[in-house]
Chain A
Amino acid sequence: MISELKAKLLNLSDVISDLISEAKNINEIEEIRVNSLGKKGSITSYLKNLKEYDEVSKREIGSLVNAIKNKINKLIIDKKSYFKTEILNKKLLTEKIDVTLTPHENETGTLHPLSRTIDELCAIFADMGFSIVDGPDIETDYYNFTALNIPYEHPARQEHDTFYLQPDEYGKRKVLRTHTSPVQIRTMEKINLENFEEIRYIIPGRTYRSDHDATHSPMFHQCEGLVLGKNINMGHLKGCLIDFCRTYFSKEDLPVRFRPSYFPFTEPSAEVDIGCKKDKDGSLSIGSGEDWLEILGSGMVHPRVLEGVGIDPSIYQGFAFGMGLERLTMLKYGIPDLRPFYDSDLRWLKHYGFIPVDNPSLHFGLNGVFS
């Protein structure tokens, strides 16, 4: 009787297996599952009837039923998952999109080439221990000229093409600073000599001269530098500025020449030239060739300037330098004209501007990449 039962069970198992393999969809499978393994299912019913048998038979049949149950259960799960995959695949086919369509644009903006240059300068000079300071665009005559050893009647004043503002109630007229040098005076005035060792400042900023043609803009940018201490001499000026030029233009062997010059607020003064090649078509390549290109002015701070701010020139000495930022930018990045710097032409900005996350630093690199 037991063997008969066993045969019935095995037969049932085969029948259900066949049903599963023939099932057409996930609903049929579910139906098979309920009919076979559900509470009232055909296989489950065998387990309910076990109590009619003796212990030995009970164990024998019980284990057979369980084995069949497990087998069927696995077949059902496999078949279900087969149908699920099939359904998903069908669905995915209907979800196909045209990947060649252009995505909706959400444009990134750009940073102005001049900001870029200022950032690069800051990175280079920060490495040499400089920090950044700034000062006002509207200056008094004193800071812009007199304190810099340019008295009223000095011929150098005429070369400055100064913008003047309407006189105030006392008849004093302010000027738009013609250079960033007045900030030298403002920073030196703030020095507390009691515990003063050394300062190293750079001062980038807007400057103004009443001149407007292809190579002059009424507003332009300069970067001033000032180093003052007890043991700073002209050799440091030379070392610092050679390092700067070579780092900025990324040319270790860039020829740098120092040439005597004159600025009222420095003595001795030096003009700094870099080596370049001027081609017949007017183009310029930095770093090679026979020609020289003037890029900055410098010198040892004039003793009279130091005395003017209460610093004893027999104890302290230092150097200052100044450079035009538009020119540096044009030379490095091959921008041919000055005027578009202020025209805000979107086409120019996108072409010559820089992506905002390409941030110049010594570890990242100073020159624009990918943009």
Chain B
Amino acid sequence: MKFTWYWLLDHLQTDKNLNDIVETLPKLGLEVSSVINLAEKLKEFISVKVLEIKKHPNADKLNICKVFDGKNTFSVVCGANNVKTGMIGVFAKVETYVPGINLILKKTKIRGETSEGMLCSEKELTLSDNHEGIIELPKNSKIGLSIIDIMDLTDPIIEIEITPNRGDCLGVRGIARDLAAAGMGVLKDLEVIEIEGDFESIIDWKIDLNEDKKNLCPKIFGRSFKNLLNVDSPSWLKKRLLAVDQRPISSLVDITNYIMIDIGRPLHAYDAEKIVGNTLTIKESKQGEKFFALNGNEYELDQGMLVISDDYGIDDLAGIMGGERTGVTENTTKMFLEAAIFDPISIANTGRKLNINSDARYRFERGLDYDSPDLVMHYAASMVSKICGGTYSRIVKFELMKETRPIIFNPNNTYKLTGVEIENKQARSILEKLGFLITNKKDFWSIIPPAWRSDIDGVSDIVEEIIRVNGYDCIPSIKLPRKNYIAKPAMNIKHRQISIASKILANRGYNEVITFSFLNEVMSKQFNGCIKELVLVNPISSELTHMRPSVIPTLLIAAQRNLNNGIDTLSFFEAGPIFKGDKPDDQINTISGLRLGSKVKRDWKNSSENFDFYDVKLDVLKTLEAIGVNINSLQTYENTPSYFHPGRSAVLKIGQKLIANIGEIHPSITDFYGFEKSIVAFEIFYENIPIPKKFKISKPMLKTSPLQSLTREFAFVLDEITNAEKLVQIAKSINKDLIKDVLIFDVYRGENIPDGKKSIAIKVIIQPNLETLTDDDLEKISSDLINVIETKLSGYLRSK
């Protein structure tokens, strides 16, 4: 919402200056986004007369002008093609700051010719974007004077942000009212002379709405004008409209726009002679009806949109935009003026469906002053007759009685809700200055909000009005009392798991990234997504259309982007959600990561070595161990999702619960994204990790044996398909009391090993518990092991 300083002073009697007002507005909730004070910004620019023009000797397109400010003559190099002898222009002397080019002028030589200043365009003064030629001031302008007065730039422009609840401040008067309530002056009375009118209106209203839809148009007023002269608007009016970004069109249109900004009240002007018949009907549209709006577009309407129609058809979309057929033009001499109250919800729905934004819709949606149609009929009539002459009719109207239900307010509520201590007298005064009517002032106040504040409907709204105008600085600052007598963690177990896992992974060399939760359709398919409910209806780009079924693809995009920067070794992880459906439980939080490139870089000591499956498996096991997984309880399976390499990937589970996927990304996918090396990725489904109901804070007792542990080594020849893990599990199961660990120290294929077989060498670590083991004990363990491997895995001891 833009307005000018003098426009505000039309409504506010005040001795405050612009700065006072600009500082107060945000305190009232009216955030100031800009103040343009041209009088301050352009005060050094003066009017000069161009005395003489001659061609620049060294540049075809430049001229050297002699300009005169009444005392001195200056030589100026000028490139504008509209410069001519005798014209009066706008001149900036050396040392003047020129805002449009953000430069302080210096005396310079341009192609060898001295220039002692600048003749300015509108753009250089920030008056417009117009850079076509320099400004030409009226011929009779005095020279050597500040252009502020000549160009009438004295009125500062203020722009404020209006929150959706403050429709009343979409008019200058509403802003003035708030300022007056805050002690910044006195709200002037609006000059309205009520004149009944000379004749009966040529047009009348007809309400064609069912009883239950009457509230769509609770109030509509109209009045006819005749013998008008739709002249150009007077310059003061044009200037004000231009200052607030309204394009002057013709005085009738300009007047409706002016009143909309002035008191926040949209109006619609029909050319009365173009209305077919003498009735305007307010009704709901039928499916498929057409409407030609004055923005030049044709709209097909839905069932039930609020429209106004004459005998010919629809020519006004109520509260949003008028029609082309009945609009006023410069030839209009008879006008019918409409001011209505429409249901904001209906307006909002229609506007959104048809995607029409207009100043009228903006205001109707936010709620209008319910009393404004009555008032504006007179306010507009006197303005129209002043500017366009003519006469006006009596008012035709339709209105429903409005129920006003007072809000019962306990003045203690202010303290209870906000901690602000304010005297009742002061609180009442604030409300009354804002236009609230307080009918009962005893223990409980009975308050009727003003007609322009449709947003006020409860006790907390009243409290807000009081403390807002009283000033938020008066709200006390109170420490939250300590809630717990002992410190309690802010994080739950899941949060702690993420935090621990992140630190472990970063310590192991991963960089944490955050990638978008959405990706493109191709990737979604590659990673088994593409559920209909997870497709965005209105994506911002075709690359971001599907909610991701896995974090790995967005990590791949991240890796690819780095590859394009020449970075071919990286490790990334992300703790983030994936989506299997659109219900809250379908959102699964994972910790996912990938490694690409060299694990060991070639240097003076090592030859280069790439990351492989086992590096990432170790990362995952170390991470899982740190977030509550007993590594021994993990089972390994090979049925990984299809985006992994079928032979180089594994699924880790505890019971039926999926804990992690690890593996090389399927080569067809890495190829697709242009990676030459393999990528190893993982996804940890930490939410599936079984968590004990109660944690024991104390640790179990450490038991160390005084007896030394022993090791025995074996090499078994096994079928190629036998997993190492199976061998280890079986070896451990021989004697759970004594065998502490089984480690694999060699895997061998080749000479002396039959085809389809492999040799796995293990080291069995035996820890005696109570007494030293005898040779017989050890012999028994050995023979048991060999027997079990033979019976369960058809393996045999490799001969030396």
Q: Quick check: B582 and A300 within 8 Å, CB to CB? A: no
A40 within 8 A of B: no
Q: Quick check: B488 and A131 within 8 Å, CB to CB? A: yes
**How far is A282 from B492 in the complex, measured between Cα atoms in Å?**
41
* Closest B residue, CB atoms, query A112: B512
Q: Which of chain B's residues 527-556 have a Cβ closer than 8 Å to chain A?
A: 532-541, 544, 547, 555
Q: Name the one of A112, A235, A268, A345 contacting B565, with C-beta atoms under 8 angstroms.
A: A345
A125 within 8 A of B: yes
**How far is A64 from B365 in the complex, measured between Cα atoms in Å?**
122
Q: Quick check: A163 and B509 within 8 Å, CB to CB? A: no
A268 touching B517 in the complex, CB below 8 Å, given contacts A107-B509, A239-B480: no
Contact with B along A157-175 (1 / 0, CB 8 A): 0110001111010000110
**How far is A227 from B483 in the complex, measured between Cα atoms in Å?**
12
- What is the distance, in angstroms, from B189's C-beta to the closest C-beta of chain A? 27
> What are the 9 A-B residue pairs with the smallest beta carbon separation, nearest first?
A235-B419, A260-B29, A262-B163, A344-B558, A126-B490, A356-B506, A268-B464, A129-B483, A235-B478
Q: Quick check: B419 and A356 within 8 Å, CB to CB? A: no
A259 touching B27 in the complex, CB below 8 Å, given contacts A122-B490, A165-B536: yes
Q: Which of chain A's residues 264-303 have a Cβ closer than 8 Å to chain B?
A: 264, 267-271, 300, 302-303
* Closest B residue, CB atoms, query A115: B512
- What is the distance, in angstroms, from A371's C-beta to the closest C-beta of chain B? 11
A258 within 8 A of B: yes
Q: A108-B509, A206-B517 are in contact. List 4 more A-B contacts (CB 8 A).
A: A111-B503, A176-B517, A240-B479, A355-B506
B663 within 8 A of A: no
A111 touching B512 in the complex, CB below 8 Å, given contacts A137-B517, A155-B348, A219-B517: yes
**How far is A211 from B541 in the complex, measured between Cα atoms in Å?**
11
Residues of chain A with a CB closer than 8 A to B601's CB:
104-105
* Closest B residue, CB atoms, query A197: B483
Most buried by A among B27, B536, B605: B536
A210 within 8 A of B: yes
- What is the distance, in angstroms, from B670's C-beta to the closest C-beta of chain A? 17
Q: Quick check: A259 and B475 within 8 Å, CB to CB? A: no
**How far is A68 from B683 in the complex, measured between Cα atoms in Å?**
78
A260 touching B418 in the complex, CB below 8 Å, given contacts A153-B349, A155-B348, A165-B582: no
Q: Quick check: A342 and B514 within 8 Å, CB to CB? A: yes
Residues of chain A with a CB closer than 8 A to B482's CB:
129
A156 within 8 A of B: yes
B344 within 8 A of A: yes
A37 within 8 A of B: no
Q: Quick check: A168 and B582 within 8 Å, CB to CB? A: yes
Residues of chain A with a CB closer than 8 A to B112's CB:
none
Q: Quick check: A126 and B533 within 8 Å, CB to CB? A: no
Q: Which of chain A's residues 113-172 have a Cβ closer than 8 Å to chain B?
A: 114-115, 119, 122, 125-126, 128-132, 135-138, 152-156, 158-159, 163-166, 168
Q: Quick check: A129 and B536 within 8 Å, CB to CB? A: no
* Interface-facing stretch out of B48-56, B202-210, B213-221, B570-578: B570-578
A310 within 8 A of B: no
Residues of chain B with a CB closer than 8 A to A137's CB:
517, 577, 579, 587
Residues of chain A with a CB closer than 8 A to B467's CB:
234, 268
Q: Name the one of B344, B511, B558 contacting A350, with C-beta atoms under 8 angstroms.
A: B511
A214 within 8 A of B: no
* Interface-facing stretch out of B192-200, B455-463, B640-648: B455-463
Residues of chain B with a CB closer than 8 A to A300's CB:
417-418, 460
Q: Quick check: A259 and B512 within 8 Å, CB to CB? A: no
Q: Which of chain B's residues 45-89 have a Cβ closer than 8 Å to chain A?
A: none
**How far is A128 from B681 in the complex, measured between Cα atoms in Å?**
40
Q: Quick check: B464 and A112 within 8 Å, CB to CB? A: no
A303 touching B582 in the complex, CB below 8 Å, given contacts A104-B605, A268-B418: no
Q: Which of chain B's residues 380-415 have a Cβ closer than 8 Å to chain A?
A: 415
B352 within 8 A of A: yes
B36 within 8 A of A: no
Q: Name the one of B477, B484, B514, B537 contacting A165, with C-beta atoms under 8 angstroms.
A: B537
Binding site for A on B (CB under 8 A): 26-29, 31, 163-166, 344-345, 348-349, 352, 365-366, 415-420, 458-461, 463-464, 467-468, 472-473, 475-480, 482-484, 488-492, 495, 499, 502-503, 505-518, 532-541, 544, 547, 555, 558-559, 561-562, 565, 567, 570-573, 575-577, 579, 582-584, 586-587, 600-601, 603-606
**How far is A105 from B464 in the complex, measured between Cα atoms in Å?**
61
Residues of chain B with a CB closer than 8 A to A131's CB:
488-492
Q: Quick check: A346 and B567 within 8 Å, CB to CB? A: yes
A233 touching B512 in the complex, CB below 8 Å, given contacts A165-B537, A344-B562: no
**How far is A341 from B515 in the complex, measured between Cα atoms in Å?**
9
* Closest A residue, CB atoms, query B606: A104
**How far is A73 from B505 in the complex, measured between Cα atoms in Å?**
60
**How far is A328 from B644 in the complex, measured between Cα atoms in Å?**
39
**How far is A343 from B61 in the complex, measured between Cα atoms in Å?**
48
- What is the distance, in angstroms, from A325's C-beta to the closest C-beta of chain B? 11
**How far is A235 from B476 in the complex, measured between Cα atoms in Å?**
5
Q: Name the one of B27, B28, B509 contacting A109, with C-beta atoms under 8 angstroms.
A: B509
Q: Quick check: B515 and A342 within 8 Å, CB to CB? A: yes
- What is the distance, in angstroms, from A208's C-beta to the closest C-beta of chain B? 7
**How far is A195 from B689 in the complex, measured between Cα atoms in Å?**
31
Q: Quick check: A234 and B460 within 8 Å, CB to CB? A: no
* Closest A residue, CB atoms, query B575: A115
Q: Quick check: B460 and A218 within 8 Å, CB to CB? A: no
Q: Which of chain A's residues 304-354 have a Cβ closer than 8 Å to chain B?
A: 304, 317, 341-347, 349-350, 353
A30 within 8 A of B: no
Q: Quick check: B463 and A104 within 8 Å, CB to CB? A: no
Q: Quick check: B511 and A109 within 8 Å, CB to CB? A: yes
A132 touching B495 in the complex, CB below 8 Å, given contacts A236-B478, A347-B565: yes
* Closest B residue, CB atoms, query A259: B26
Residues of chain B with a CB closer than 8 A to A202's CB:
490
Residues of chain B with a CB closer than 8 A to A69's CB:
none
Q: Quick check: A269 and B502 within 8 Å, CB to CB? A: no
A110 within 8 A of B: yes
A94 within 8 A of B: no
- What is the distance, in angstroms, from B603's C-beta to the closest C-beta of chain A? 6
A268 touching B477 in the complex, CB below 8 Å, given contacts A158-B352, A164-B538: no
Residues of chain B with a CB closer than 8 A to A112's CB:
512-514
**How far is A166 from B532 in the complex, measured between Cα atoms in Å?**
6
**How far is A353 from B133 in the complex, measured between Cα atoms in Å?**
52
Residues of chain B with a CB closer than 8 A to A163's CB:
536-539
Q: Quick check: B489 and A126 within 8 Å, CB to CB? A: yes
Residues of chain A with a CB closer than 8 A to B540's CB:
210-212, 218
Residues of chain A with a CB closer than 8 A to B508's CB:
109
Q: Quick check: A174 and B458 within 8 Å, CB to CB? A: no
**How far is A350 from B512 in the complex, measured between Cα atoms in Å?**
10
A29 within 8 A of B: no
Residues of chain B with a CB closer than 8 A to A79's CB:
none
- What is the distance, in angstroms, from B474's C-beta to the closest C-beta of chain A? 10
Q: Quick check: B484 and A129 within 8 Å, CB to CB? A: yes
**How far is A130 from B492 in the complex, measured between Cα atoms in Å?**
12
* Closest A residue, CB atoms, query B467: A268
Most buried by A among B27, B490, B575, B605: B490
- What is the distance, in angstroms, from B361's C-beta to the closest C-beta of chain A? 10
Residues of chain A with a CB closer than 8 A to B464's CB:
260, 267-269
A369 within 8 A of B: no
- What is the distance, in angstroms, from B434's C-beta to the closest C-beta of chain A? 13
A238 within 8 A of B: yes
Q: Quick check: B537 and A227 within 8 Å, CB to CB? A: no
